[in-house]
Amino acid sequence: MKPDFNVMTKSELRAYVLKYREDTAAFEALADRIYANPNPQWYQPEDTEKIVDLIQASKQSNLND
């Protein structure tokens, strides 16, 4: 019996996909989740400090998932 991908967090689903690489349904569920919440933003060269802050916040958020 496969786990319910809808109740997994994004981090849990990613870990599952990495562990069971042949599970295409899990991969598709992760891809759907990633593409459902895109965050495209454009920055100017003078925004480098803001970009560093965003990267650090993203890393911290991934550790908490």
| Distance of alpha carbon 46 from the chain centroid | 27
pLDDT in tens, 17-45: 999 999 999 999 999 998 887 777 777 88
Residue 26: its pLDDT value, please?
96
| pTM of the complete model beyond 0.75 | no
Residue 54: its pLDDT value, please?
86
Residue 2: its pLDDT value, please?
82
Residue 65: its pLDDT value, please?
62
Q: Which residue has the tokens 């060269």?
A: 45
Parse the chain into domains and list their residue ranges. 5-64
